[in-house]
Amino acid sequence: MAIKNLLNLDKSTYQCIISAENQKSSMKKILILDMSDRVAGDIEDKLCAKGLTAQRMCSLIQFGQSVAITATSPNMTILVNSMQPDIILNFHSQNTETVERTLQLAERCGVRIVNCNTARALCADRARLLPTLRSEGMTVPGFFYGHPSQLLASMKGECICKDPVGHLVIRTNCGAISSREELVYCETLVPCNGVVRSVYRVGKLTFTMEKSDTLGKGRVLPSERVESKGAEIAVVDSICKHADLDYCNVDFINGTVIDVNCFPNIFRHRDAVDAIVEHVASM
């Protein structure tokens, strides 16, 4: 509004305008670093409906091209498409080295990264995560993304291999695990009844979902919200506390942990999507 117009306003109207402008400037700005189009779009819409400013980056390339960091001693500022985000929801599991450095700088600029960089690094480094879980008293096999020839020498003992795309381990056959159309081999199998149970943690809320692929066509079984009790829930509690995760999902086969993921696969779990929106809005 032009200054000359402000001068003609009565005091109460002027104060209302200033209050509204201050509220607008203090509104949380949230950047969503991609997920699936449908879910990321859903989260963006729901955050905007709550009066928050939300913006999606559909690819890492788009994110890299949109970032500008200004270094004004002693402070730094990060801008993405001219927006200075307060929170970055990082749902992308395959960050490049450049993006990782950018996220680290953003954290130094005071931007809240969800999940934080240190938590994501711990989950991504399987060689570090395994002893961490075991130090918490969990009996878990090793797990690894990629071809068996790339297995780390530091990952001793039982080991489960998974397809690099991150599809869940769902079938076992003759010393191999079938994941999508690829076969990856492992040292020791976890007996599988064709069902993988996922436990999601978003803030203080817990959800479960079971996935079945016994016929080679994935289908999701009925999901439920559960109370914080039981052996599986205790495992998830320990992982979230130790790794400082805002959200995660832990996958089980017959009660055995087969994966920990700080990028929750909530594509078909609407309650968990809503929980993430509420959790971020309350930050």
Beta strands 29-33; 87-90: pairing state: parallel
Mean predicted confidence (pLDDT) in 238-252: 81
Side chain identity, residue 17 = I
Instruction: Using alpha carbons, select from 149, 194, 139, 201 the residue that is nearest to residue 168.
Output: 194
Mean of per-residue pLDDT scores for the chain: 65
Side chain identity, residue 120 = R
Q: What distances in angstroms separate CA 106 from CA 18, 87, 102, 122, one per listed residue?
A: 30, 10, 6, 19
Contact 255, 193 (CB under 8 A): no
pLDDT confidence band for 279 (50 / 70 / 90): confident
Which phi and psi angles does 8 have, rounded to 5°? Answer: -90, 0
Contact 87, 112 (CB under 8 A): yes
**CATH dotted code for 125-268:** 3.30.470
Order of strands, edge to edge, in the sheet holding 176-179?
171-173, 176-179, 182-185
Domain over 3-114 is classified CATH 1.10.150? no
Kind plus residue range of the DSSP H or E element containing 120: helix 117-124
pLDDT confidence band for 72 (50 / 70 / 90): low
pLDDT at 130: 72
- With a cut of 80, say whether residue 53 has pLDDT above it: yes
Residues 6+ apart with CB under 8 A from 74: none
In angstroms, the CA 70 to CA 67 distance is 10
Mean predicted confidence (pLDDT) in 225-232: 63
170-203 residues labelled b (16+ CB within 10 A) or e (exposed): bebeeeebbbeeeebebbebbebeeebbbbbbbe
98-134 pLDDT, tens digit each? 777 778 888 887 888 888 888 877 777 766 777 767 7
pLDDT confidence band for 20 (50 / 70 / 90): very low
Q: Which regions of the chain carry the CATH code 3.30.470?
A: 125-268
Tokens of 69: 């960091």
Q: Which regions of the chain carry the CATH code 3.40.50?
A: 3-114
